[in-house]
Structure 1
Amino acid sequence: MTKLDPPVPGQPGTVYIEHPPQPFVETGGVAGGPVLISVPHSGRYYPRELVEQVRLPIDDLRMLEDLLVDHLIEEAIGRNVHTITNNYARAWIDLNRRETELDPRQLSPRPAAHIDQRSPRVVAGLGLIPLTSGSGRALYDGPLAMDMIASRIERVHRPYHARIAAGLGAMKERFGAALLCDLHSMPPLPAAQAADIVLGDRHGRTAAPALVDTAAAWLTQQGYRVTRNRPYAGGHSVELHGRPERACHAIQIEFDRQLYLESDGRTLSRNAPGVARLIAGLARVLQECLDTDSGTRLAAE
Structure 2
Amino acid sequence: MKPVEITRGDGPVVLGLPHTGTWLPGKAAARLSDRGRALADTDWHVERLYADLLPGATTVRATFHRYLIDANRAPSGESLYPEQNTTDLVPVTDFEGEDIVTEAASVDEVAERLQAYHRPYHDALAAQLERVRARHGVAILFDCHSIRSRLPFLFEGTLPDLNIGTDGGTTCDPAIEAAVVARAEASGYSHVLNGRFRGGWTTRHYGRPDEGFHAIQLELAQSTYLADEAPPWRYDEAKAARLRPVLAAMLQDLADLAPSLGVAR
Shorter-normalised TM-score: what interval?
0.7 to 0.9
- Residue 120 of structure 1: how far off its partner (Å): 4.5
Q: Is the aligned partner of 1:224 residue 2:192?
A: no
Residue 10 of structure 1 aligns with which residue?
none
Deviation of the 1:125 alpha carbon = 6.2
Task: Select 1:252's aligned residue among 201, 214, 217.
Answer: 217
**Residues of 2 paired with 1:166 and 1:257: CA distance?**
30
Kept after mapping to 1: 8 A contact 2:73/2:80: no
Partner residue, 1:100: 76
Give the C-alpha shift of residue 275 in structure 1.
2.8
Superposition deviation, residue 162 in structure 1: 1.3
Q: 1:43 aligns with which of 18, 21, 35?
A: 21
What displacement does 1:277 show? 3.7
- Which residue in the other structure is 2:145 paired with? 184
2:248 is aligned to 280
| Pairing 1:85-234 to 2, within 5 Å after superposition | 85-101=61-77, 116=78, 120=81, 124=85, 126-188=87-149, 195-234=160-199
Structure 1 residues 56 and 125, CA gap change in structure 2 (3 angstroms): farther
Cross-structure match for 2:30: 52
Q: Deviations over 1:207-243 (max 9, x none)?
A: 1111100111023223322210101111110111100
Provide the C-alpha distance between the structure 1 equivalents of 2:85 and 2:183, rounded to a whole number of angstroms: 34
Residue 58 to residue 130, structure 1, CA distance change in 2 (3 Å): closer
3-state DSSP class of the match of 1:290? helix
The alignment covers a number of residue pairs equal to: 258
Write the distance in 2 (CA, Å) between the matches of 1:25 and 1:274: 27
Instruction: Show structure 2 runs of 5+ residues with no match.
Output: none
Output the amino acid matched with 2:100.
L
TM-score for the superposition, normalised by structure 1: 0.78
Q: 1:194 to 1:66 in 2, by over 3 A?
A: closer
Matched, 1:76 2:58: no
Instruction: Write the distance in 1 (CA, Å) between the matches of 2:216 and 2:68.
Output: 24
Task: Note closer, same or farther for the CA distance 1:63–1:22 as it changes in structure 2 (3 Å cut).
Answer: same
Contact 1:125 1:132 in 2 (8 A): no
The Cα of 1:273 is off from its aligned counterpart by 3.8
> In 1, distance between residues paired with 2:171 and 2:33?
38
Q: How many percent identity over aligned positions?
A: 26
Larger Rg: 1
Q: Distance in 2 between matches of 1:136 and 1:88?
A: 21
How far the C-alpha of 1:124 sits from its partner, in A, is 4.1
- 2:40 is paired with a residue whose SS is helix
Contact in 1 for aligned 2:4/2:121 (Cα 8 Å) = yes
Is the CA contact (8 Å cut-off) linking 1:72 and 1:273 kept in structure 2?
no
Q: What RMSD over aligned residues (CA atoms) do the two structures have, in Å? A: 2.5
Query: Would the aligned equivalents of 1:199 and 1:251 in 2 still touch at CA under 8 Å?
Result: yes
Q: Deviations over 1:97-138 (max 9, x none)?
A: 01111xxxxxxxxxxxxxx3x664798461110010233222
CA deviations 1:248-301 (Å, max 9, x no partner) are 10001011111100025300012224433432332111100112xx1218x69x
Structure 2 Cα separation of the partners of residues 288 and 200 of structure 1: 20
1:64 aligns with 2:41: yes
Moved more, 183-192 or 230-239: 183-192
> For the Cα contact (< 8 Å) 2:149–2:158, is it kept in 1?
no
Q: CA deviation at 1:169?
A: 1.2
Given the two structures, how large is their TM-score scaled by the length of structure 2?
0.88
Check whether the contact 1:34–1:175 (CA below 8 A) recurs between aligned residues: yes
Asked if the contact 1:53/1:140 (under 8 Å) is kept, the reply is yes
